[in-house]
Amino acid sequence: MTTEHAVRPAADRDRMAPEDRDEVALRHRRVRAAMDEQGFDAILAFGPGWRRENVRYFTDASLIGSAALVIFPAHGDPVAFSTSRADLATVTRRGWVGEALLLDPDAPDALTGRLADLRPRRVGVAHYELLPAVVLEAVRAALPAAEIVSATALMDGVRLVKSDWELARMRRAAQVCAAGWEAFVDVLEPGLPEYRIVAEVEARIKAMGAEDNFMLIASGKDEVRGMTAPSPRVLAAGDMVRTELTPQLDGYWLQICRSAVVGTASPEQHESFALFNEAVEAGMAVVRPGVTAHEVAKAQNDVFRARGFGEYCTSRYTRVRGHGHGLHLDETPIIEGNETVLPQNAVFIIHPNTYTPIAGYHVLGDPVRVTADGCEVLISTERKLFETGDAA
């Protein structure tokens, strides 16, 4: 083994945990079935630093390089590439992919040579839209007779259905979500800056093993129209504090959306919660295998329309009524017009987060799994408007 090439012996790979070996085999079957339907001889899964979901799907490894790829052939073993030498041993040590090579984006001969050896007629590139032009042109030059097209939608579809192995990880992530929200509420008091809230949450969830956390926050009253990164703004009695809290654990992201009041909630804040809770429940009520993202979004929006608040479901405010979860934190959008079918064991959050004049921007939502006859709520946190006590 050199610093530019790492291989895990087959004997070591045979010692992989049985549940991992079964999961690898399942993923390979799913991808190859989709490849066969679309006539692909190979998939090239590309992952820039901010979109690693497809590379992780094949490797189950957390990588640090600025870019990584996996060649997944219709027949034979996959091979991984990374711009970081340290990643090569990380990939092979995990064992889901037995060979890893260094990637030089300006001279990707190792990558193009392996692709040329396959002699593919049709290659699908997952995240084709993000692949650097220099790499794409090198691939085209190495495969002059091959058709090279996007396979982003193919991989999105494969990852949409979660296995039992994945669901076990996501349920552990749900426990981290619940603990993060507890930390959020525990620290709220007048005079506390927003960034201190996020610091407390980060400390709690990182101690539980969270790899990362995407988090937005907003504090104030009915003037609040959206969420941002934490600011030095200081909480005041009567403020409603809103958050999307999205930890990543073992590669998998899950989100909780909640709002809390510093002190005692006003009648308007309670009224706002009741409206948003009705919308969440309406979205959940239509979930079943085969429902579309459009139908889930419409069910939520119809609650606002019935109350005369339909304009707050438009792009002028916030159109998205949730999104998929998995190896990426923001997968298929739950939005009117998105006809993506949500099959059994798809996981997504239902959150009708938006502004209304009742009490300003409100945040409320739960992640769900599509079951055979409805949905399973994955989060244990009570869905209510949290209050810290009597206003000072």
pLDDT digits over 178-233, tens only? 999 999 999 999 999 999 999 999 999 999 999 999 999 999 999 999 999 999 99
Class of domain 5-159: alpha beta
Tell me the pTM. Answer: 0.94
92-140 pLDDT tens trace: 999 999 999 999 999 999 999 999 999 999 999 999 999 999 999 999 9
Average predicted confidence (pLDDT) for the chain: 96
List Cα–Cα distances, 100 to 6, 41, 96, 213, in angstroms: 5, 20, 11, 28
Q: Where in the chain is the domain with CATH 3.90.230.10?
A: 164-387
DSSP string of 13-43, one letter each residue? HTTS-HHHHHHHHHHHHHHHHHHHHHT-SEE
pLDDT for position 16: 87
pLDDT for position 15: 78
Residue 252 has pLDDT above 60, yes or no: yes
Lowest mean pLDDT among 15-24, 203-212, 266-275, 302-311: 15-24
Per cent of the chain over pLDDT 70 is: 97
What is the enclosing helix (H) or strand (E) of 126?
strand 122-126
Report the alpha-carbon distance of residue 125 to residue 143 in Å, rounded. 13
Q: Where in the chain is the domain with CATH 3.40.350.10?
A: 5-159
**Where do the H-state alpha helices sit in the chain?**
10-13, 18-38, 53-59, 85-94, 109-118, 133-142, 152-160, 164-187, 194-207, 267-285, 293-306
CATH homologous superfamily, domain 164-387: Creatinase/methionine aminopeptidase superfamily (3.90.230.10)
Helices 152-160/18-38 angle, 10° precision = 140
